[in-house]
Chain A
Amino acid sequence: MKILVIEDDRDAASYLMQALDEAGHVAHHAADGETGYAMAEGMDYDVLVVDRMLPRRDGLSIVEALRAQGDATPVIILSALGEVDDRVTGLRAGGDDYLVKPYAFTELLARIEVLARRNSPAEAQTHYQVADLLLDRLSRKVTRGGDLVNLQPREFRLLEYLMKNAGRVVTRTMLLENVWDYHFDPQTNVIDVHMSRLRGKIDKGHEVQLLQTVRGAGYIIRE
């Protein structure tokens, strides 16, 4: 995947570049807003990672300018400003995701990978399948190996989100944001409890465990 990181902090940027490289992506770096904007305009990237406060041109104005030109490249905004209204202004400017500093790299990576495939056919599918686990979005039925799995509405949405992003790591905050629509950081292991219940319903009694925990990152559903 080809990623442009517009970030003025040298240390943060070099760490990001190295980590993205290790994760198998091609990452380019711009250290100020104008350069970043020129690069984003001139080349075709899969995802842009844009710091909100940049020298010479701030991140929001870059995103706004790109959107005004009809450029729909997914954008993740990074910001130290994390209050409720900051997030709203960030997304309103055209950002697709908003990550508050400091963040774990695994969190950023998971979000980049989910965002890059946002426009993939999975979005429009009426049903998702992972091995013998089948989720029908229209009838809202889930079967594992042909047996009906009885899920609560929230559990269904949890599984739906995981299966839409099958094969990719989703973090706890991504689940909280996308399934419950809350952006705070719960103190307890609240997401883990929900996940262990879901796992009990879909994996229990089966030899292959589809719902897996990725240590230090989150969860992944895959064969």
Chain B
Amino acid sequence: MGRVWRTTTVRLTAMFIAIFVGFAVVLLAVLAYQTSVRIQQQQTRAIEREVDHINLLSLRASVRTVAFAVQRLADRPGPGIYYLGDPTGTMIAGNVSSLPAAILSEPGRYELSYERGLEIYGEVEDTPRMQGVAIVQSGELPNGLRLVVGRDVGERRGFTAIILSTFWWGALAIVILSVVAGGLTARYVLRRIDAITDTSNKIMSGNLSERVPLTGSDDEFDRVATNLNAMLDRIEQLMAGLKQVTDNVAHDLKTPLTRMRNKAEAALRPGADRDVQIAALEATITESDHLIRIFSALLLIARAEAGMPTGALSRIDASEVVEDVVDLYTPVAEDEGLTVSTEVEPGLMMTGNRELVGQALVNLVENAIKYGKPAQGGAGDISVSARRQDDWIVIEVADRGPGIPEESRSRVFDRFVRLEGSRTDAGAGLGLALVAAVVRAHDGTVRFADNDPGAKAIISFPAAPREN
């Protein structure tokens, strides 16, 4: 539970409660204050009107009439407070039982507590007396009588109390609801986050096949989880690839290293004559060149797979690259008794790295030359084509060799894979892996198809938008 209180949701809820309560306090305080002021103003004005009225009356009427008028006012039900007395302090009319002498002698406005009753006539002895707080105005009439008019303020105070209690109950309800809602939300969020944390902990402890569970609601957590899972798939795939590569590197680098060592030992063998020594040293250099080549290819693949630095990309003419590579390799193919035919649309522009695309094509053409001789003799033709197809540049390198068995067509792009029958060749099984890495780095695709007979490598690169 302690963790729930530390969540963002709870912090946000607390913040919203604070803001809301603060806002409500200000709003209600302003409302209460203004209402109170307004009621007070009305009461004061009513008092002033009555005082003026009685003042006027006392100018032209007898004391008796004035007393009657005051008593009539006093007898009305309501918050009014009235007192009329002579200068000696004897009450003539009104509805208060007693007033402090100070108020009667000194005209002005006061707030006081009072007792109210009808004992002026003494008719109803057991009339319940009301007590309250009032604002009163005391003064002297032109005929020398003392007049006090006032209003009970209990009503006003009651109103403020209602507002205050409304506020307290409201605030309490809001706080309780928010705490409950915030706590529930926080627990829900925490549960989803915990699922992700759990998964990542399991993955960190080595179980790469763990995935974040989905609720199927397609909410933001599901979307994050889906992305995380996709990322994990990719990582798992890369890790599996890396493991396979490590195993293969161990084998494919140790073998030539051993050969190299053997040759160096042969050169040092006592009694070896100079010709043998020179041959052994030359073989050592050949082996080390072979190793360097494997090493460079691996680095190049790793670099291409890690994604291309943007500085290495530019707008290149794929048609030109294809023509260059064909131009470079046609004599080699012809020496091997193969013909090369090309069909290249001019001006196929793409965004890429000329060196890498060229290298990939070279690898495909070298493969076609190496494995493209027809098994039963006959004309061996390597055909290279490049064309635009919708938004893609499609490059095909096809031969008339034995082809690649369907079940091996995707495997040949893995590192160090050599198919049966080619295992004795000098290559390291990295050529097609490099092709695949280069193609992937250019957001393209590569696959092998049947050339019937023969193998046909098909590469697609996204075409660059036509320049206007």
Contacts and interface: CB of A to CB of B under 8 A. Distances in A.
B154 interface: no
Interface residues of A, number: 24
A187 B324 contact: no
Given A85-B311, A88-B312, A183-B355, A188 B296 contact: no
Contacts of B303: 83
B329 A184 contact: no
Contacts of A84: 312, 353, 355-356
Interface in B367-381: 369
B332 interface: yes
Interface stretch (A31-39, A123-131, A189-197): A189-197
Interface in A178-206: 180, 182-190, 193-194, 197
B141 to A, nearest CB: 107
A194 B285 CA distance: 24
Contacts of A182: 324, 328, 355, 358-359, 362
B355 A188 contact: no
Nearest to A198: B331
A184 B355 contact: yes
B219 interface: no
Contacts of A104: 285
Contacts of B170: none
Contact of B366 (A82, A187, A193): A187
Interface in A72-114: 82-85, 88-89, 100, 102, 104
Contact of B331 (A83, A100, A187, A197): A197
B312 A187 contact: no
A193 B296 contact: no
Nearest to A186: B362
A190 B328 CA distance: 7
A189 B355 CA distance: 19
A92 to B, nearest CB: 10
B327 interface: yes
Interface of A: 82-85, 88-89, 100, 102, 104, 154, 180, 182-190, 193-194, 197, 216
13 contacts: A83-B303, A84-B355, A88-B312, A100-B296, A104-B285, A182-B359, A184-B362, A187-B366, A187-B431, A188-B332, A188-B369, A189-B332, A190-B331
